[in-house]
Every structure is written in C-alpha cells, then in structure tokens.
Chain A
C-alpha cells in the first residue's frame, strides 16, 4: 500500500514537471465568525480540477500562470470568486448561504441551475432529514415540500408510506410517484407477503442522501413520459470530493412510547353493558325476565348464574393495553462514512446499522447498509462512475400484518382496546392465561391470549436489496457528452410465518407454517447525449436519449402443517404440505426522449421535452405513447429596470404545460386470459380470468402550471408560489359489465379528474447575527374533482362514492341523527330530511372526503453560538374518514370492550337525549340498519403535529481540535411530541382502515456526530 502511494506521488510529481509553467497559490478559508471552513472546494474558474481545505481551513493549489480567478465553495455557504492576479496568498471569508437560488437542481438525466428552472420542482436537502429516526426517505420528507402529501400507512418501522404529489389523479391505477435514485428508476411496488410491510425505499440510509428533488408539474416530469403522471422523486446520494479523507461517525439511541391509550370499560361496566344488551335485544318478548338477562350477562363475565352483586363488584379488571400489548420501544442507529479522493478519483463510502423495536412486541426493524460511490476520471474526455447500495433488512412482524392492518382476533394491536377486561393476561405462575387445552376460557369475541400469539408465533421478513449502477461519460466533441448507464434494482424478500401449535389458531392442526420468497429484478439501460453551448447571448443545451427497462417480479410460496411440537419450527419438519405455489409477472418498456433548453441572456428561458414510450402493458392497438411538454421562464431580476431595486433581490416568473402518462395499470391488463388457479377432484382447472381490451393504454395527465420565485431584502425573504390545474383523463376504470356475461368488469380508459391547487413556500431569515432565527413555511391548497365517468354516468355503480362533481374518496352515506329519546334506537335522515330507522341507498348524502384540503409544514431554526434548535410542525386539514376501530368498538353487542365515554353517554331510559344508542343485541336492530352505519363513525382527521424538535450543540472548533477531531455535535431529538386532533382512535395519521393498526409512536433520541 505504501509503495503504491509513493508511486502515485511520483506520478503526480511527474505531472507537475510536465506543466512547468505553473505556480502555487496558498490560502485560508474562514466562515463569517472567523472559524476555519474544513473541506471547502477550491478550483480555478473554468476548470473542474481543484483541491479542498484541510482541518485548519488552509489550502494549496497549483494553477497555471494564466489563471486569474479561484472559485471557493462549501456546503451551506455562498460560493465566492477570488482574484489571484499577482497574489500567491489569499484569505477567503465565506458567507453563510441565505438563499438556495444559486444551487444546482437535478431535473432528470441532467441538472440545471435553480435560476434557470422553468418547471415546478421542490427540493429537500439531505441536511433537513439527517438523523431522523425513520427507516425510509419518503417518511422523512413529510411536510417539507409543498404539495407533496406523505401519509404513513401505520407505525410499523419500515412500513408502507403513501405519497401523493398534487393529489390523486387516478381512481384505480396507481398513484405512487416514480422514484429515481442516482438515475436508477426504482420498482416501488409493495411486494406483499403474509408478514409485515417492507417499504421498498427502506434500503437507503437517509443519512446517505444529499438531496431529494421532487418534479411536481407535468412539464418538469415529462422527461419520464409514461411513468411521470404521479410526479417524480429524484434522490441523489452523497458523493466524494477530492482532498483529505473525511470521516464522519454518527450514532443515536432513543426510546419510543405510545401516543395515547384508549379509555375503555372496567369489568363492572362491561357487565352492566352486557346486561342491558340482553334486556334490549329481547325487548319485544314480554315473557323475558331480568333474571334471564342477568344470568346471561354473568356468563359473559365468567360468573355462575348464582353470583351475587358482591361477586360482580369483586371482578378484577385487566388492562390489556398497558400490561399486555404496548411497551417502550428502542431506537438505535450507528453509521460511519468516509469521503475523499484526488483529482482523478473521488469516493464516498458508508456503512450503517439501524434498529428499532416498536411499541408492540415483537415488531422490529434491523437494517445494515453499505454504500459506495466512486468516480474515476481517465482523461478530460472520459470518466467512469459507479454507485452501489447494498442493504439487508430483518423485520419481526405482528400477527398476520401483511397489509399493516390486522383484524385477526390474535392480533395484539386489534385486541388491545377491545379485549373483555375480565380476562387475565397471565396465570399466577407466570404462564399465559387461557391457552388451548388449559380449559381456561376467554370471555368475549377476542378469545385468545394475544401476548402468547405475539410471543410464541414466529413472523419474520428479510429483505435484501441491491441498487447500483455503472456509468461511462465521454465527451465526443467539445460540448457534446455521451453517458451510458447500466442500472440494477434487485430486491429479494423472504418471509416466514410460523403459527405455534400452542396457540389456538394452529392448535388443531399442530402448527402451521408459510414460507414465501419474492424477487424483483429491475434492469435499466440508459444512453444519453448532452449538448451545451453558448452563442453570444444565446445559451442552448439539448438532451437526447434512449432507455430500456425490464422489470420482472416472481415468487414462491409454500405452506405446511402438522409439526411434531413447537420445538420444530422450520417447514421441513411439517407432516402435511398444504400449498406449493408461485407467481411470475413483469413488464418491459422502451423509450426515446429529448429535451431542448434555450435562454437569452438568462432572462428569457424556454424548455421543450418529448418522450415516446412503448410498453408491454399497453394494448396492441396502443403500444406507443408520446408525451410532450413546454415551459418558459422570465428572470425579471435580470432586467435592467429591476437591477437597482433595493427591495427585490430575485424574481422569476414561470409557466408550463405538459403531458404525462400513468402506466401503473397492471402488467397484463389488456389481454384476454385463461388462468389455472382452481383445482377440482385432484384435477387442474383452466378458468377465463380476464376479457381482452386491445385498446387499453396509459392514463393521460395534462397540467398547466404558473409559478413565481422571489427574493426580497437581499434574499432575507425567499420563496415561491405555484398554481396549477391538472386534468387526468383516459382513466383506468373497471367498467362494470353486466355480470350475466360471466365477467364482472372490463378495464377501459374512461373518465377524467381535475386537481387544482396553490402551493406556497416561504423562507425568512428573521434574525441574523449572533442569534439567528430562520423560518421555513409551506402550505398547499388542493381541490380534487371528478369531471366525468363513462357514458352519461353520474356515479360509479360499483362505488357510489365516485361521483361526477365530487372528489375521489368522497364519503357518501346516510346522515346519522342521534337516538330516539323514547326508545334508544339509532336514527338517520332520509332523502327528505325525515327520520328513518332503515336508510336506503337513496338517502345517502355527501359528507366530506378523505383528501386533505390543506397540508403543510413549519420549521423554525434558532441558533446562538454553538447551540441550534429546530422545531418542525406538520399539519393536515380537511380530511374526513371512517374510523374502523370506532365502528368495531361502538358495536356494543359484539362481546368486546368499548369506549368509556360512549358507554357513559349511552341511552339508558326514555327521555335521554344522546347520540349513543342502547345496546341492542345484534349488530343491527332486527330489520333495521346497522347502528354503526351512516355518518356516526366518520370523523375529521385533521391534525397539527409537533413532528420534530432537535436541540444541537456543536463543539467549538478549538475544543474539537484539542481533542484531535474536526468537529463534534451532540443532539437531542423528539418526534411526534405533541398532536392536536379530534380523531377518537389512537392516531389520525394513517391510511386505510385503523382497526388493528400499529399506531405511530412518540420518540426521543440522543445522538452524537463526530467528524475527523
């Protein structure tokens, strides 16, 4: 090694000799407080080669005699140009960047100065999401980019997250944005297995992210054609820079705890509810005796019919939420990176380990990652680069939580609030109460010990992922660069679900095991030519490319039962095979694309994009789609009349129009198919599964966007405003067929949806100086409307809530009208506004929708001397949703616990004015509507959440130096510390149904980052 270094040194010396007409310039770089800036980049203007500053902020650079200017830049500082004419020693003071308008924005296959961007693009810097105790970057960007709605499905560490950019544009096709990591288009399908959720973006350590750009409008996204309709998220990882190798070691440790517990009944209240339930369910039977009801209710709490009132009063109450289900979680992370290189080769390498034990045992997430990025410059024309990201994730899952929601009775998150409180958790000897064969009965619907289910069963999932690419860059002639990139996104998931024979679900079959494996091989091959040149005041750049992508997903599944004992837990010990199956699916897409950017004196900016995609997903009659876009910008600040403005320091107007496609329509949806999924009498069976539609194609998105980027008072106030109108047409709809045809639906391109909205991003520097205070605020207003369905339909027959003129996700149900004070029966309003006990379809009304009308975030950053405090709120407003847990919990008849508050408000005697009906013995009044139906179970999902507070102490540079390190940072961070909401369940932040959901948790972490 040493010898090689010497050799390299010699070669460098030889190179020096070859350019004997060079001279050396020395210098030092400091920040506005006079502290040395480490690792600042120093280059000669017009030449990319250069050096970086050392630990003392000093540099030495060899420049040619003709060189006149040095460019000094560093992260979070404004770059500066320094004249070196006649100087050999310079001192440079960098100003902390107050604006990001000079920064470069990645726009897909190329990058652009932010000043020249004409589309709507949001950027989240890696620093903003550093050290957040989240497992995937989609969760990290929540509330940080206007118009990007991020909703975690649940609180499973590494669980799924729903991201919608500028609202939902589709009813049945996918609405997930395209994620591109270092030029690799990711497959982000949630490969679902029986065990827990694995977020496809969890492979990346968020601390390896340098920046995230979100292409929001159709014009910005158009370069991705048929994959762009839901917006594009471009993730750029950290890259090495030439200079002394910089090491960063980062570690944090923390705890998580439940956000809330649900207040439910004790055993005596539960008995009372059961008693009333029996009375009212037999209300029409004149011969029914209170003693009969008493005996039945006593049986429900495990007492003999002879039990006395004292026996009832002596019943113990067991708190399953606090004592059985929820625990204190643990968060732990350690990562280390090294970055450096020389003028030929630069590298960034990192490794990380992240572990989280959730607030429900045994849910956990453990991840190790390795990341390497190397770039080697062969000559001024030729360079190679590679990025390689390897990750291995292990997750323990909770009871059959494949979709995140688990409504199985063995699920601890479902049973926690609903378990009948008379059921003990443990026997006095510490063993689990109520195990099969013990003869100890569980009272109520939740009839098994969920702690035993969680502890004895084994449910794990392993995800191994490789995301990498190798690329070659070659400058064919001056200004014309070729780039070829070969990328692979490979994911393997292996899941195992062992139902222990001691637990009731597998007791009768002596154990049941499911083992699944899935592979996703996503290969992308991209060739682009980039051309850039200036002709006087005319600047031109152009891009042309071809791309091929093949994305194959396959899997195997086996199930078996009958194990000798619970000591045998692998599937080869099972006596009876149940299932052996697998699947294979995939798609191929071939594309050509081009882009031309032109500007005049950086004042008038124009951009045109076109992409043509051919996809195996599209029907034979529509194999190819072409997606054009155009945009223009006007940098008013560069006009003479603005130049001397004291007030305005930046102003740019943008307009754009574009078309994109949404190809998330299923892989073989256009084909007429027969499948072999059935079996009869030990014979295989061939079943028509789908009727052909050769016309099927992408959903089309068209969008007009207008925006204004501004800066005032020397950019103390900066921001941007965007307004847009987007129409998605040719929507993929499962058009219902008359089922007497033998098919229930055919997939066709029908209908249209409009999304319009306004987005505002505002950053202000409120105080500058020793005490610094900056604020970043973003807000997005969004309105979604279904413009048309097919034929003359005003609503979808299969889903009455899909209605022309209303948003997707509308709540369309009967209005709940409280309880009849005389009888305690639940009442609704019919179409005429009159009372009904049995609302019909025609009585339904619109009652809000589950799209947030406003979302946003507010960050305040305070710094004083070496302390820094970040406070980040995010919020959602205007979303109405059904609370599935509420439906289940307020079903008084179902032998399970309920809300104390609802119990206290229940109708008890004639004259009671309340909204909670009497317990009535059935889920519905006999020949009446289900009493939990209608709007009773719909609530506002609005919330304001103190998402993150970070307090950081930076060790003074001089102290760090004495300790032999470059820098050190201590921080304490809290997540989800406070929430304002009226949602009755555990947490308003979820997607889908919240029954059995593992909710989000409150986290506190402490951490240390050391640079050396």
Chain B
C-alpha cells in the first residue's frame, strides 16, 4: 500500500514544508536592529576619542538653561535686590516676585553631569589608547567640573556655612561619586550630607584638579587657574579666609585673565572672549544660540546694538532696579522715541565706568527701560554670548573680603589695597576706609562689578542679609532663601528644605 500519494497530496506536502521553514527563520537575527545615532553604554567609554567626547559632554552640559545658559546668572539676579522684572515675556517675573518655588532649578541637570563625570572617571584607567598625560588632564578637568557642580548645588539648596539658621537647616546635598548603571540602580538611596561634608568634597576635587591641571587648555576649559579661582570662591563661602587669600593670590599669579582698566572696561564687555575671564562657558556656533526667548541677552536687554533704540531685539525681561541705578550713579531722563524723527533717550552717569554698560533699551515692547548690556551677542550674532563664570576682578574682591575678615589693621590695609585696585580701574579715585565701612564698600563694589552676572543673591545669602526690595522685602529667615528640591526626589532620607 502506498503510504502517501505523492501526486495527489503534493500541495499539502508543499504547504507543510514551507510553513515550518518560515517559522524557523523567526530568529533573533531577523529582529536585531542597532541604533545609528547612539551607541551601547558598554561600548561608549572605551577609546581615547570617545572619552574625550564624553568629557566635552560635561562641559556642554554647563550651557543648559538651568545652569550658565541662563538661570544661574539671571534667576539669581532676579531673586536679588538689584533687578526689576518688566513682565514683557512673562519670564523671570515670578522669580523677581520671590514667589514660592520660583527659584533655581539646577538640581537634576547638575546631578546628570556629575554622573557623567563619575562614569568617565571610573572608565579612564581602562582606556587603552590614551596616554598618561591624557588621563591626568581628563581627571583634572572632571574633578574641576564636579567641584563646580557640587558648589552650584550646595550654594543653591543649602545654607552657606557663613550664615546658617540652624533651626531651619536640613543639611547639604547628596554626594555621589560613583557612576550609575542599571545594575546599581535599585540599591541606591541618597541622603543629604552635612553641608560641611559637601564643602570638604569640593575641596578634595578642586585640590586634586589643581595638581592634575596646567593652564594650557585656555579659559573655555578647566585650568589650574580656574580651579584655584573657584577654590577661592568656595573658601570665601566656607569662611575659610586663609585658603581664600592663598588661592586668590595663586589664581592671579597663574596669568589666566587680565584685569580691565577704565579705558578698556567697556570694550572688554564687547569682545567675544572677556579678557578678565579665568573660566567662561563657551557658546561659539550659531547652533548653540539659546535664541530669542531665554538667552541672557533677551533676558536683560531689548537692544540689538548699543545706542540704537529704534532696532528691537529681545524682550528685556529683567532690568536694573532703582536701587542699583542709584548705586551706579545713573539718573535717567526722557525715554527714547522712534518714528520719522527718532529722539534718543536721556541718561546721565557719574565717573563709574561700569555705568556705561547701562542704557535705554529699545522702543517697541511697551515703555522703554534702562537695561544692562553685558550680554549683547558678543560672539557674532544676537543672543550668542560666552558666559563668564569667574573673572579675575573677583579674585581681588574675594581676597579683600578675606583679608578684612581675618581682622587686624594690617589685613585691613591689604584689603583696602585690593579694593582700590578695582575702584581705580573703574574710573574712580581710590577711597580710604576702615572697619565696617571698608567691608560695606567691598560688598558694594562686589554688587556693582558683578551685577547681571549672578553674584548678588548669593552674596546676600552668605552674609545672612535680607533681600530689601519693592514691594516686599524677603527676610533672611524666610524659606525662599533656599531653593526647593524637586518633589519627586523627596523621600525619608532626602528631606525637603523647610517651608516647601
């Protein structure tokens, strides 16, 4: 008996043969697809080129809007007493009103960049094709960056050691020094370290950076000078006056950044790279342009070109308060008008050359205001500016304050010398002062020198001073002095700042 009639059943046989074949080919290979714009984490940090690119990524992250792209500069000043919001685009008004939760928001971006630095630091030893010099340079740069980021975190979210309200103090910020991978994810539970411990870690990173770095990378990247200058500021915040003096002196001695004089002060603020910069965040190409809504230029001025009030640029959301204008010696007259016969605005200034950076804004977005023109598209296009993080003039003022705080007539004399170094280079004659008047003048010069550079809020905060502003003063014991930690990160170990 024929078991199978081949001729009669060939169709069935064909079908039975074809189907399993098709089923079989449903293998992993058929559905494997590799992304082309990304690479797998395990391959990412294995060669010199990729690690170098990963280091660049941490620097690039500093351009984020919550960091030096805008907030650290503009929101700090909005929170302080030297600015007034114009409500043109609606931006920076809640911050200027010191509304609850309208504050610095750098938490998640800072930790994102810290994690990048940690991952690279862990990967560096096993990068085969990199030289020892490459590795130590990377390590120095990453520790500088990590120190900078922890400093930005701890000064925003915690009290500054020189002025603490113990009853309201919930500590510093979590310190994480290892990279996150999917395998370490579940075990991780962060807690707020004591503020002192965070400062200790920043010291460790910056001291390590000082030993690894030289000044060859220039002021757009980490240098020994930059690490020293940052440590000078950190020490000032910590109340470690001796270190502040030492590092300020050393930073000045490194030769990165040149103090401007009254003759070139204004032109310094018109050149792409500020000659005083020890470290600045670079915004070089048009694709890095922050744009019309949230750039520092649009935040601070509606002008496109200095002196041309009839050409409208950005919004000019944050302008100098009456208090700051008085301190700068500026009195304003009639606002400019445009039309068939444009009339320029009227403004009178004193000797302080810094007042030259304040002028009438553009016509066309409501009533014109006197605006600050530090950010004016210096890199060759509107809204494109490098952002100075540390300028050398700060070293003189930091040192002056540290000398003063150490006490004694000799130190006061040294402090006065540093103070006058700044005053005389800003078009004014040297002053004579001692005691609290000397300190007050140092702090006043700090305010005038670094207005619209994000210093003032923290200078008040570290001195424990109220923010005196209209319509209502924010006392130092108010909860809004500290930034709110993102609600989603709060748990039993990671407590929110008081008042939120």
Contacts and interface: CB of A to CB of B under 8 A. Distances in A.
A683 B180 contact: no
Given A508-B382, A584-B36, A680-B63, A798 B53 contact: no
A300 interface: yes
A285 interface: yes
Interface stretch (B89-97, B405-413, B427-435): B89-97
Contacts, number: 271
Contact of B115 (A299, A583, A743): A743
Given A445-B89, A681-B221, 11 more contacts: A436-B311, A546-B22, A548-B30, A592-B23, A623-B31, A674-B50, A685-B56, A739-B488, A742-B111, A923-B87, A926-B99
B287 A691 contact: no
Nearest to B36: A584
A565 interface: no
Interface string B20-60: 00110110101111011111111011000010111011011
Contact of A743 (B39, B112, B189): B112
Interface string A92-127: 000000000000000000000000000000000000
A673 B176 CA distance: 21
Nearest to B114: A742
B366 interface: yes
A379 B207 CA distance: 87
Contacts of A672: 40-42, 181-182
B6 interface: no
A588 B28 CA distance: 11
Interface residues of A, number: 98
A476 B30 contact: no
Interface string A226-263: 00000000000000000000000000000000000000
A741 B188 contact: yes
Interface string A971-985: 000000000000000
Contacts of A585: 35, 37
Q: Which of A668, A678, A693 has the most CB of B within 10 A?
A: A678
B300 to A, nearest CB: 16
B340 A439 contact: yes
Contact of B11 (A480, A689, A797): A480
B466 to A, nearest CB: 15
B57 A584 contact: no
Interface in A918-949: 921-924, 926-928
Contacts of A684: 53, 56
A126 B354 CA distance: 75
A296 B57 contact: no
A445 B35 contact: no
Given A672-B40, A683-B52, A741-B188, A436 B312 contact: yes
Interface residues of B, number: 101
Nearest to B119: A688
A957 B358 CA distance: 85
Interface in B89-142: 89-90, 93-94, 97-100, 107-108, 111-116, 118-119
A586 B108 CA distance: 30
Contacts of B45: 674, 686
A739 B489 contact: yes
A482 B97 contact: no
Given A693-B182, A741-B111, A894-B87, A588 B364 contact: no
Contacts of B467: none
A683 B54 CA distance: 10
Contacts of B340: 439
Contacts of B31: 588-590, 614-616, 623
A442 B56 contact: no
B253 interface: no
Interface stretch (B254-262, B278-286, B322-330): B278-286
Contacts of A546: 19, 22-23, 26
A682 interface: yes
A437 B15 contact: no
Given A299-B367, A587-B33, A623-B31, A893 B87 contact: yes
A687 B52 CA distance: 11
Interface in A610-641: 612, 614-616, 623
A676 interface: yes
Contact of A508 (B63, B100, B220, B313): B313
Contacts of B364: 441-442, 447
Contact of A439 (B25, B180, B304, B342): B342
Given A439-B342, A742-B115, A895-B366, A529 B15 contact: yes
Interface in A691-716: 691-693
B39 A673 contact: yes
A440 B342 CA distance: 11
B182 A623 contact: no
Interface string A538-562: 0000001010100000000001010
Given A576-B286, A924-B94, A668 B35 contact: yes
Contacts of B37: 583-585, 675-676
Interface string A663-675: 0000110011111
A744 interface: yes
Nearest to B89: A445
The 9 lowest CB-CB distance pairs between A and B, nearest first, are A742-B115, A476-B11, A672-B41, A678-B60, A685-B57, A439-B338, A680-B60, A674-B44, A739-B108
B173 to A, nearest CB: 8
Contact of B39 (A440, A674, A683): A674
A588 B365 CA distance: 53
A401 to B, nearest CB: 17
Contacts of A676: 37-38, 53
Given A285-B471, A693-B182, A741-B188, A508 B54 contact: no
A527 interface: yes
Nearest to A512: B286
Given A508-B311, A592-B26, A672-B42, A737 B185 contact: yes
Contacts of A590: 25-26, 30-31
A57 to B, nearest CB: 42
Contacts of A504: 312
Contact of A736 (B53, B97, B471, B488): B488
Nearest to B33: A616
B381 interface: yes
Contact of B22 (A300, A592, A678, A798): A592
Contacts of A893: 87
Nearest to B182: A692
Contact of B363 (A441, A584, A668): A441
Interface string A700-740: 00000000000000000000000000000000000011111
9 contacts: A546-B26, A576-B286, A587-B33, A674-B45, A676-B53, A678-B57, A686-B56, A739-B486, A924-B94
B100 A927 contact: yes
B338 A688 contact: no
A1008 interface: no
B1 interface: no
Contacts of A690: 38
B210 interface: no
A746 interface: yes
Given A687-B116, A738-B489, A926-B471, A586 B284 contact: no
A686 B57 contact: yes
A578 interface: yes
A616 B90 CA distance: 45
Contact of A924 (B26, B97, B363): B97
A590 B27 CA distance: 9
A578 B12 contact: no
A300 B381 CA distance: 30
Interface in A292-347: 296, 299-300
A443 B42 CA distance: 56
A792 interface: no
B174 interface: yes
Contact of B40 (A282, A476, A671): A671
B423 to A, nearest CB: 34
Nearest to B153: A740
